[in-house]
Amino acid sequence: MDVRVDEITGVRFVREPYPFPSFPGRESLTVQFLGPGGHTVLRCYAHEPYDGQRMRPEKLAAWQAMRERNGNRDESRVDHGILLARPLTPR
């Protein structure tokens, strides 16, 4: 894998259904780093977010705190390593 920091164009905080069908009803918490064209070039998952069938509150709180420290938005643009206030794509 080759990801250059200077090529990151955006960051996205995503809470979505778990990508594996063997775990129905679960969610994943990720931070996605986007490259040119808005494609995900690196995805970081919250490690072991579940304790049995219940999401660990400390994992959700840590993900939310990171999101808040980075603008409290689902998506932000990055320009030369600087997080910008506007999203990558118009809503």
Measured distance between the N- and C-terminal CA atoms of the chain, rounded to whole angstroms: 31
Q: Which superfamily does 5-83 belong to?
A: HemS/ChuS/ChuX like domains (3.40.1570.10)
pTM comes to 0.83
Asked if residue 87 has pLDDT above 80, the reply is no
pLDDT at 48: 93
Catalogue the E-assigned strands of the chain.
10-17, 27-34, 40-45, 50-51, 54-55, 75-79, 82-83
Domain boundaries, the chain: 5-83
User: Which pLDDT tens digit goes with each residue over 48-75?
Assistant: 999 988 999 999 999 999 999 988 999 9
Dist. CA 70–CA 44, nearest whole Å: 15
pLDDT at 24: 87
pLDDT at 88: 57
pLDDT at 91: 46
